[in-house]
Structure 1
Amino acid sequence: MTTGTRLWAVAAAAMLALAACGGNASSPGSGAPATGSPGAAGDGPAVDAADINPQPLDRLKDGGTLRMSIQQWITQYNSQQVDGTQGDGAAIVSLVEPDLFTYDAKGVPHPVPDYLESAEVTSTSPQVVTYKLNPKAKWSDGTPLSYRDFQAQWKALNGKDKSYLSAGWPGYDLIGKVEQGSGPQEVKVTFDKPFADWRQTFDPLFPAAAYDTPEKFNKGWLEKVPITAAAWKIGSYDKTAQTITAVRDPNWWGAKPKLDSVVFRALDPAAALDAYLNKEIDYVAAIRPEAYGRVKDDPDTAIRVGARWDEVHITLNGGRGPLRDLKVRNAVEKAVNRGALTEVAFKDLPFKARPLGNHFFMPNQEGYQDNSGEYGTYDLEGAKKLLEEAGWKDNGAGQPRTKDGAPLKLSFVISADSTSQQVDQATLLQNMLAQAGIQITIDKVPGNDFFEKYVNRGDFDLVSFRNVDQLFLSQAFPQYQRPEGENVYQNYGRITSPELVGLLTKAQTTTDRAEAIKLYNQADALVWRLGHTIELYQRPQVLAVRKGLANFGASGLSSDNFTKVGWEK
């Protein structure tokens, strides 16, 4: 199975963050991409850096288990539903559902032959995409993949029926019709407006039988995956042991996986590191200095480094309290010393990083430019001035500012599973903002509730997590979409503007790459001005992987192929 839905987030974050979907997920790719290595100070790995120990299949054992950690027990497996945007659940789903495209080392998508004989634009006015499905491809209920699956997914995600609680996936609202072509396995998708990133739609593809009503869409994937169509299926869910086990599907029509099973075990970050060193799981993130120091000399460990689309940021909640005021949000931006937070995050690691200046592009991507300007520059006096203008009275050092008798007090929500380093860095942020007269309380919440009950519900003033693998620029659109009632899509801080939505709408319908880059950079500058999110840095992949595990590791921008992952003989 080749993952094309790039939502992989199975490891603890460095700094303050946990991982959300944010985009499509990367993990180990097939083939033999260039080996990644730590760069010089100030540099991360190259754009196509990956290190997966590529090995031919005849050198691998037939059988065995890959044991992996995830951050929490999964409650919603529909990754396109508003509560399904946590990356681990989406990664599990991409293992057992059809990913129509695979990504190479530079993040370029290619059709997966197990599902697609072809997928191409067959008309430009209007834009029509024709998919020819592999006639062998069938759902686990025996139904062949067909245009009906595309139709059901389009209707669920195009935004017309609000009872489908969609997380807001771009492109579907631009589709005018989905219909059968020359037969049930030929699909014609006609767009009302051009959509440059059409390959990200229907990837993964979900079954109509479990998607064609709001009830099925919203509740049919709670704590289970109802129907699958891949080399793998879910063999068991063990809530007591906090494990989900994927096993080979004997009805799979493609290449047989080398492994017998893949086990996902919910562990908090500190426990995951200990579990790895105790040989209970087979890989763990080593991006934190403490983790890197403990694993780098382990004789059974290979350190694998890759360049992933992975950004760490702080989200500001403009939907409640003092942060409703733009001047207060801009003051918070100016009071945060991004350079200091970045320096601490990479302390004792074999490479350094600079603060990130863009919400849409990573520094190793075409189109990147630093648009942060004054809002990404540490300026304590500027922050104080904005707070004065907003009516918040200075009460002296060590005291929060006040307005109408109320203190300037904000909640910074972190997971109770956070590492000591994450807590220390949250405290550093707390001290930074205190110097401007902004009092921060650090509120620890249960790890399993962090996204579902706090981030997704907007129950925070400040929160930090990661958006990962947004190789298609339009994937970011839901993060800035205007909330509709209780559905915030992925705009958890509820901050947007008509101008921003207009720029992003125009950008995603622009097929000229240079013009699209220009529009996204204009949008990025506006995101900074709106005080939407404070970008911190690009997070490289630094993984500790059990020696002997092949075709797996730091995949960079490429996809995994779990039929090729296995243990060397």
Structure 2
Amino acid sequence: MRPIPAAAWIAATAATALLVTGCGSSDEAGAPHKAAAPKADGQDINARPVADLRQGGTLTMGIDQWITQYNINNVDGQQGDAQEIARTVLPDLFDSDARGAHHVNPDFLLSAKVTSTSPQVVEYRLNPKAKWSDGKSLSWHDFQAQWRALNGRDKRYEAADTSGYDQIAKVEQGADAHTVKVTFGSPYADWQRLFDPLYPAAYYDSPAAFLKSWSEKVPVSGNAFKVGKYDKTAQTVTLVPDPTWWGRKPKLDSIVFRVLDSAARTDAYLNKEIDYTTALLPEDYKRLVKAPDTDIRRGARWDEVHITLNGGRGPLKDLRVRQAVQHAVDRKGIQEAFAKDLSFELKPLNNHFFMPNQQGYTDTTDGYADFDAAAAAKLLDAAGWQDNGAGKPRTKGGERLTLDYVLSAGGTAAQTDQAELVQQQLGQVGIKVELKKVPANDYFNQFVNRGNFDLTSFRNVDAVYQSMLTPVFVRPKGGNLFQNFGSVGSPKIDTLLHRAAGTTDPAAAARLYNQADHEIWRLAHSIELYQRPQILAVRKGLANFGAEGLADVDYTKVGWLKK
């Protein structure tokens, strides 16, 4: 989950990273050829040696909203674009490859390894050249401050995810000033996902610093790029190379992130205002595939589309109503409507943790996600909602059974189509759905992140560690929802996720995640719809960028080919 809210990694939005081997393009005039889904380790990034790239140039990308929080460990920083920018300007300790395997980034770490298993101890050897933009060296103090902010013991920090950090017993200096020793109180399999990215202690060591220092700005950076300019009027954030950078010099002169509604991006690309955009929707694909000097790069990243049900308020507090909604939604109908003109095979999704092209994937729905209007009606009857006949909302105690479905006004036509389909489907069983479009800049910060909805749909992306999804499914604590915006959970799920995160055998861990998923479906936490395919239009001369698969983007290698 490069945490689309995301997520992870959240996106209704546009967290960007990708996957796969290029497939043959479809016949422009006829129905698109349904290319098979790519393998999980495929890529299509126009991979080239850095020597083939010219020095200079700008990469311009569209993002969904103005970034209000660059602390991605705070709930408001979980939006995918914020995560992408943060990881580009802050120390990135580990990089994943196309298979999702993780490796130390030598610009920041000379090594990182488990030196003891009882207790589990991880030793990080920092690159002595690695420094913050204020001139201070990276140190164990940064690790300690991040652990204290994110271990959940001080609720004032309002951490988006405490998992993993809450299993650490202590963080201290190792053998020298460039060594960090992290001791766990209980084993944690995905220890490499912690402290990545790393934040500076000076802007993380108090709740006030954690919450306020990163509001609409990055006070201190520590990577090849830094923020050169924030332009709220133009709605752009511009990154430029940091002259104090100790690693490989970037090829690009700048990276510009520009706020653009999803519906405006095809025209922006064709007008050469941005350098890549999604070509997933048929109406966009048909225009973009004809654009001069354009590559269509395809993939199947860890990317799921779902509907979140809010069990924290209104009629959906009742499990029977949530289960009725789950049965009333025709997932196959939604998939078929979306995939009708796609040039890519659309995979149905019956698991919250694994994609269909991943090891560990199995159908965990147990019938709870079956389209069954009769079962939905029976559950609503049992919950006391009276049937008033076809086309009329059910009632109880004088109240109509009404749910709101919150949408971003900056979303795509496909997102609106999906909401209207759900509205029709739920109407068939007597649930009235009111569509509520809200400003794009408010969608996450004021609605999703606050649990201010009954139904909503966004994407979780890049959950290359299953434990990254823990905050999506654990029970909220007090006013902190973590990323469980619908507040649906149970002690059983919490226990299974905790056990899975501490299980170092991948097959055994997968079994535990899938056990938790059976319970997640039973509680009607969220309705998985499909694995979203990735089809991108990218400028032909742009190298080492595009469909990344499970890999991270190395922006020092991204650039424009020499003429």
CA contact (8 A) 2:14 2:64 kept: no
* 8 Å Cα contact 1:17-1:464 kept in structure 2: no
Paired residues of 1:140 and 1:228 also in contact (CA < 8 A):
yes
Shift of 1:419: 2.5
**TM-score (structure 1 length as normaliser):** 0.95
Show the counterpart of 1:231: 224
Deviation at 1:514, TM superposition (A): 1.6
Q: TM-score, normalised by structure 2?
A: 0.96
Is the contact made by 2:70 and 2:218 (CA closer than 8 Å) also made in structure 1? Answer: yes
Q: C-alpha distance in 2, partners of 1:347/1:474? A: 34
1:139 aligns with 2:132: yes
Please state whether the residue corresponding to 2:467 is helix, strand or coil: helix
**Aligned-partner Cα distance in 2 for 1:483–1:218:** 19
Partner-residue secondary structure (3-state), 2:62 = strand
Q: 1:296 aligns with which of 268, 289, 294?
A: 289
The alignment status of 1:345 with 2:341, answered yes or no, reads no
Partner of 2:534: 541
User: Does residue 428 of structure 1 match 2:421?
Assistant: yes
CA distance in 1, matches of 2:220, 2:106: 21
Q: Distance in 2 between matches of 1:20 and 1:381?
A: 37
CA distance in 2, matches of 1:35, 1:120: 36
What's the CA shift for 1:391? Answer: 0.7
Q: Is the 8 A contact 1:20 1:465 kept in 2?
A: no
Of 159, 176, 199, the residue aligned with 1:166 is 159
2: distance between equivalents of 1:548 and 1:513?
Answer: 40
1:482 positional shift: 1.6
Given candidates 10, 15, 18, the residue that maps to 2:12 is 18
Alpha-carbon distance change, 20 to 281 in structure 1, aligned in 2, over 3 angstroms: closer
Structure 2 residues not aligned, in runs of 5+: 27-32
Q: Which amino acid aligns with 1:339?
A: K
The reply on whether 1:86 has 2:88 as its aligned counterpart is no
Does the 8 Å contact 1:119/1:129 carry over to 2? yes
Shift of 1:42: 8.6
**1:250-283 alpha-carbon deviations (Å, 9 max, x no partner):** 0000000000000000010011221111100000
Counterpart-to-counterpart distance in 2, 1:346 and 1:439: 26
Kindly report which structure 2 residues correspond to 1:551-566, keeping only aligned pairs within 5 A, or say none: 551-566=544-559
Aligned equivalent of 1:73: 66
Amino acid corresponding to residue 215 of structure 1 in structure 2: A
Moved more, 338-347 or 254-263: 338-347
- In the alignment, the residues of structure 1 paired with residue 532 and residue 541 of structure 2 have an alpha-carbon distance, to the nearest angstrom, of 26
The DSSP-based 3-state class of the residue aligned with 1:458 is coil
Say if 1:284 and 1:44 are closer, same or farther in 2 by CA, change over 3 A.
same
Candidates 511, 523, 531, aligned match of 1:518: 511
CA contact under 8 A between 1:38 and 1:351: conserved in structure 2?
A: no
Within a 5 Å distance, the mapping from 1:129-528 to structure 2 comes to 129-528=122-521
Of stretches 508-517 and 544-553 in structure 1, the one that deviates more from structure 2 is: 508-517
Which residue, 42, 47, 53 being the options, matches 2:40? Answer: 47
1:95-143 residue CA offsets vs partner (Å, 9 max, x unmatched): 0001101111100000000000000000000000000000000000100
* Cα deviation, residue 307, structure 1: 2.0
Q: How far off is 1:6 after superposition?
A: 2.8
Residues 9 and 70, structure 1, Cα contact 8 Å, conserved in 2 = no
* 1:6 alignment partner in structure 2: 2
Q: Which AA in structure 1 matches 2:210?
A: F
Taking a change above 3 Å as real, the CA distance of residues 43 and 384 of structure 1, as seen in their structure-2 partners, is farther
- Return the letter of the residue paired with 2:122: V
Greater CA drift, 537-546 or 328-337: 537-546
Q: 1: distance between equivalents of 2:202 and 2:18?
A: 29
The alpha carbon displacement at 1:56 in A equals: 1.2
Give the AA of the match of 1:186.
T
Q: Which consecutive aligned stretches of 4+ in structure 1 deviate over 6 angstroms post-superposition?
A: 37-40
**Are 1:343 and 1:352, in contact at CA under 8 Å, matched by a contact in 2?**
no
State the shift of 1:354 in Å.
3.1
- Structure 1 pair 36–43 and aligned structure 2 pair: CA distance change class (3 A): closer
Q: Which amino acid aligns with 1:147?
A: W
SS in 1 for 2:297: strand
Matches of 2:50 and 2:36, distance apart in 1: 34
Distance, in Å, in 1 between the alignment partners of 2:269 and 2:3 is 22
Compare 419-428 and 316-325 and name the one that shifted more: 419-428
- Does the 8 Å CA contact 2:11/2:80 hold for their aligned counterparts? no
Compared CA separation, residues 169 and 462, structure 1 to 2 (3 A): same
Give the Cα separation in 1 of the matches to 2:418 and 2:11.
Answer: 10
Rounded to whole Å, the distance in 2 between the matches of 1:552 and 1:284 is 12
- Report if the CA contact (8 A) 1:507-1:516 is conserved: yes
How many positions carry a matched residue from both structures? 554
User: Do structure 1's residue 123 and structure 2's residue 119 form an aligned pair?
Assistant: no
Question: Quick one: which amino acid aligns to residue 215 of structure 2?
Answer: L
TM-superposed deviation, 1:421:
2.8
Name the CA shift for 1:72/1:223 in 2 (closer, same or farther; >3 Å).
Answer: same
SS in 1 for 2:157: coil
Please list the CA deviations of residues 158-204 of structure 1 after superposition, one character each: whole Å capped at 9, or x if unmatched.
00011111101420000000000011210000000000000000011
SS at match of 1:375: coil
1:285-314 C-alpha deviation (Å, 9 max, x unpaired)? 111222112211212211001221010000
Structure 2 vs 1, CA of residues 9 and 256 (structure 1 numbering), >3 Å: closer, same or farther? farther
User: Which one of the candidate residues 87, 95, 106 is aligned to 2:99?
Assistant: 106
Measure the CA separation in 2 of the matches of 1:208 and 1:425: 44
